[in-house]
Amino acid sequence: MKTTCIIVDDEKLARDLLREYVELFPELEVIAECSKGSEAVENINSLKPELIFLDVQMPGMNGFDVLDEIDHDPYVIFTTAYDKYAIRAFEKNAVDYLLKPLDEERFKVAVNRAVARKSIEQSDIGELLRTLKHEDKESYESHLFVQKSEKLFNLPVEEIIFLEASGDYTVINAKNDQFVSSLGIGKIEELLNPEIFIRVHRSTIVNINFLKEIERHFNGGMIVKMLNGKSFPVSRTYAKEIRRRVV
């Protein structure tokens, strides 16, 4: 069965090039093209594509606004001329982030990544991972199933020391091992108790049970130091959560 996709870009030349590249993949089918964000939201919600190629900067509603408004959850490959949005894109659990002018080989890598993720999430392993998400958002996971090679390990969340974003993946650092998850760090954060796992940076979450000390700098910045010797800067966005716990 083909993977349905929608192209969203306010420039016709960009849409034409994307369609040309998509046609290199017989397993993909373009079901709509959109030139503005509001049109994209309407089409994504009604047609429910499995994959969208999404520009960031568009008049009226940008790519991130589109993702905030849709009630469907497609795989997303961002296509943009600006590299400054990459971290934010991966926090949205984007499959990939392509810079314009688009390169055919790089495009192929991104699509293959999206197809591979779809295959994994539709497998038995993917189904098992999805069962970890409870409908009750006030309950948090005590264990996660993490994949390494061809095995799934039952990881108690209490053994997780910290998590770091790495592109569209998340590196989970535990007491005795390290695992790489295809879920974005924001998605994993939803599974964890925020009273124990606190975000200190857009790319870093730490377990306070493994936090040794917090170092304050003269300029107001902070560094968290872990019991295992690792240190992480605290961004201004997340510093208020640290200050809330100061007595």
9 is written with which tokens? 């870009």
CA-CA distance, 187 to 172, in Å (whole number)?
A: 13
Record: fold of 3-122: Rossmann fold (3.40.50)
Q: Tell me the whole-structure pTM to 2 decimals.
A: 0.53
Burial of 195 (0-12, 13-18, 19+ CB in 10 A): exposed
Helices marked H in 59-170: 63-69, 86-91, 104-121, 124-130
Establish whether the linkage from the previous residue to 101 is cis, with ω within 30° of 0: yes
Mean pLDDT over residues 180-186, rounded? 88
CATH number of 135-244: 2.40.50.1020
Start-to-end CA distance of the chain, whole Å, equals 58
Domain assignments of the chain as residue spans, ordered by start = 3-122, 135-244
Where is 42: in which H helix or E strand?
A: helix 37-47
Residue 143 has pLDDT above 60, yes or no: yes
Is 135-244 the same fold as 3-122?
Answer: no
In this prediction, what percent of the chain has a pLDDT beyond 90?
A: 56
- Express each pLDDT in 38-88 by its tens digit: 999 999 999 999 999 999 999 889 999 999 899 888 999 999 998 888 888
% residues pLDDT > 70 (the chain):
90
Task: Specify the higher pLDDT residue, 3 or 217.
Answer: 3
3-state DSSP assignment of residue 186: helix
Higher pLDDT, 156 or 120: 156
